């Protein structure tokens, strides 16, 4: 697979990146500046992009997320980080370390089908929530909420979980 061009990435992802940033930054001018920073970083690092490591969308949103984190770090220390920036890409370690995979499979089967699909796409296929939303025809917010609810239900259904 060939490396996408900056123009392709910009055309495909500008609206999504701007939307992602603008809901997290209250100032429109700052959001536009951060969006520009994202695409400048993408331009600088485009030759180092490796399709074997991540899809273009995953790579673009990783750059976007890291740019937002850098922005918050430069801000006054009295401002809190947006809770939506938490990295929920890792499976809850206590969930896997305390329980066997068969218990997990049993608990997964007890979830509603849509929640089960989200968990499988997220942790087995490694897809970001934004891509899952597109695949399922749902909004990002709906998928994120169902993902959180699915994890909560899994914790409840797993024996010995608090």
Question: What is the Cα gyration radius of the chain?
Answer: 18
Q: What is the pLDDT of residues 8-49, one digit of tens each?
A: 999 999 999 998 888 888 788 888 999 999 999 999 999 988
CATH architecture of 6-85: Orthogonal Bundle (1.10)
CATH number of 93-157: 1.10.10.10
Residues of the chain with pLDDT under 70: 1-2, 76-102, 159-162
- The residue with tokens 């699915």 is 150
According to CATH, where is 1.10.10.10 located in the chain?
A: 93-157
pLDDT at 137: 86
Residues 143 and 133 sit within 8 Å (Cβ to Cβ): yes
Residues 158 and 103 sit within 8 Å (Cβ to Cβ): yes
pLDDT at 162: 45
According to CATH, where is 1.10.1740 located in the chain?
A: 6-85
pLDDT at 93: 47
């Amino acid at each position: 697979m060939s490396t996408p061009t900056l123009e392709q990435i910009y055309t495909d992802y500008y609206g999504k990146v701007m939307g992602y940033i603008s809901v997290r930054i209250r100032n429109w001018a700052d959001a536009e500046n951060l969006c520009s920073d994202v695409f400048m970083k993408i331009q600088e690092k485009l030759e180092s992009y490796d399709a074997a490591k991540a899809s273009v969308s995953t790579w673009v949103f990783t750059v976007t997320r890291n740019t937002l984190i850098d922005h918050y770090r430069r801000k006054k220390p009295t401002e809190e980080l947006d809770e939506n920036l938490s990295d929920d890409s890792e499976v809850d370690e206590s969930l896997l370390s305390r329980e066997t995979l068969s218990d997990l499979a049993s608990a997964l089967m007890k979830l509603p089908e849509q929640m089960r699909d989200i968990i499988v796409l997220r942790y087995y296929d490694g897809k970001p929530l934004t891509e899952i939303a597109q695949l399922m025809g749902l909004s990002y917010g709906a998928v994120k909420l169902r993902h959180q609810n699915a994890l909560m239900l899994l914790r409840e259904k797993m024996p010995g979980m608090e």
